[in-house]
Structure 1
C-alpha cells in the first residue's frame, strides 16, 4: 500500500473512531477505559485481520458498499438493541473492526478516495440525538423542555418510564397500581356527576383513571407544556375525561383564591416538594384554600411521599392537612418502581372513621389491581415505625427558606 492509501486509510480510521466515541458517549456514557478499549480494537484488528483483508481485497465494490452503509447503519442498530441488551456496546467495537478491515481491503484508489467523504458525511446526518440521553442507561424515547423544566420518556424493552425534572413519575410496569391507589379509594366517596378538581396531574396518570367515572372534571395544570406532552405520547396510553375543562395560565394558588366554585372531590397530584415552587403545594395555607373550595361533604387527597425515605415529610404533610381543619385518613401502598408511597385524604364534613368505613367497603369496577384485598392492605402498615413523631406542619414561611 503506497503512502497515499496509508494516509487515506488513517483518516477513515480516525473518523470511524470519532463516530464510535460519539455513539458510545451518547448511549452509554464514556470513561477512559472505553476510549482505550476502542483504540485497542482498531489496532488489534489492523494486524490480526491482515490475512482476511488480503483474501477479500479483490471484491472492491462489495467492500465499498459495506463501508458506505456501515457508519449510517450503526446508530439505528444500537438504538434498537439498547432496548433489549446491556451488551449492545459490542456493536460499536464490531463497527471499528469492520472499518479497519474494509479500508485495508480496498485496492482501488478511486473507491478508497471516497471513503473519507462518506465517513465525514455521517457527522452531518440528522440522527435523533437528544442531550438528555446521557442521564439514562436505557433508551430515551422522547423529551421536551418547558418553561418550568423538562420531561423525558425512557424505554426498556416494552416498558416506559416518565420523568419530570429528574423525578420518576411512573413506569408502565406498575403504573396501574399507582393510578388506582391514587384514585380508586377516594372515588369510593364520590357520587354520580361529582364535581372534581384535579390540581397538577400533568403526567396524565390520575386523569386516565378518572376517565372510568362519570364526573365533571376541572384541571389546573402545573406545567401545561408537560401536561400536553404526556397526553400526546404515542407509547403511553392516555384516556381523557369526557366532561373536563383545563385552566391555563393560572397556578393553583391563584385559581383557588379567585375561584367561586366548590367541589365534591379535589385531587392534588404535584411533584415532590424538592424546591420552593413545589413545596408551597404541601403547606397549611394551601390546604386551607383547598378546604374552602370543598362542599360540606367534600374530600381531598394528596400524595405525601415515600414512607421509608422521608418519614418526617410524610408526617408533616399529614399534620398540615389536619391543621387546615380536615379530618385525615392516611394510607400507603408499596409501588415497586416508586417506593413505599403514601397519601392522605382530608374530609371536610365526615369524620375520619366514616370516611375509612366507606373506603373499606370496596365497589370494584374496571380495575387491574384495586380490590377488596388491596383496600384492606393500604390501611395496614404495622406499627408506625417509619413515620416521624413530629407535630410540626409545613407553612409558606418555611417553604420560602
Structure 2
C-alpha cells in the first residue's frame, strides 16, 4: 500500500480534529472518544487532579457538562508500524472508522529513511489548522514531534493501555516522559538527542491559558495535573455495536508481551501459562499482537492450547464472541477494559499476579510495583495469587 492509499473517506478540507494512532487499541479508543463526545454516552462530570474514576460501568451513566456541543469533525491518521500483525488489525479498525463516517489517512510513517520527512511534511498544513489533536501514545517520538508543529488549543490523550497510568503520573510530577518498562535505565544517545522535543511535548500537554487538555480513559487516573479534564471511557461504542456474545463452557486466556519487552523470563512465563491452563481448563490462548511466532509455537507445543491471533482488539473479539465464561489474564490493560466491554454478560475476568521471581535481570526496578498496581486498581475482576512452578493459582 502506498503512503496515501487507505485514505478514502477523507475530505479535501482540513478537519477540525486530527487523531494520531499507531496501534489498534488506540484507534478503538479514538472511536470510543468520538462516540462519547457525539452522543454523550459514557461521559461523566469533569474530573480534575486526584479525583478518582467511577467504580465500574454502573457509575458511568452521567452526562458531562464539559462535553463539546457537537460531535467531532474527525480524521484519523494512522502512523503505520512495520509489524504485520499490528498492520492487519489497524486495517480492520480503519474499516470500522470509515463505517462510522470518519476520515482515515494511512501514512507509511516507517517505510524507509525518508518516510518520516514525507509524513511530517504532508501533515504540517493539517496540523497547523486543526483545532483539536487526539493522540493514543504521548510517549511516541513521532507524536511528540508532531506536537511541536500543531497550534491546536485542545489536546486529547486516549488510552494506550496501562501506559496511560504512567503518563498521567509523570505529567503530574513534571518528569520526563519515559515508558514504565524502561524507567530506571540511563538515557541512550537517541534519548538525549530527542530530549528537547520530548520536553516541548510535555509542556504542550500541560494545561495553560488558551489550551485545554483532556484524558479519555478507562484506567484509574489519580494524579492528573491541575486543569486536566478526565473523561471516563465505559466502552459504550463497543457495547452498542457488538454482542452480546455467545458464551462457551471453557475458559480463555489472554497473552501478554511482557516476555518480548524483556520484563518477564520466557521459561517462567511458559510454565505459568501451562499451570494456569491445567487448573482452569483453558482451551484457547488469545495472543498479544507483539508476541513472537517462536514463543507462540513453543507455547502451543508444550501446553496444547489453541493459539488465536485476533484480527481486532480483544475488547471487540470478546464482545462479538464466542468467548469463555472465564477469561484469565496477567496484569495488562484488559483487566480494566474487558469488564467494561463485557458489562451485562456472565463473563468473569480473572487476573493472575506476576511473581517477582519471573522478572528478568534487566527488568526495570519499577516493573514489579507497576504491574502490582495494574492488578490492584482493576475493578470487577477476580484476583488470583501468583503461580508457582508446581501449584496452581
Given the two structures, how large is their TM-score scaled by the length of structure 2?
0.28
Indicate the structure (1 or 2) with the bigger Cα radius of gyration: 1
Structure 1 length-normalised TM: 0.28
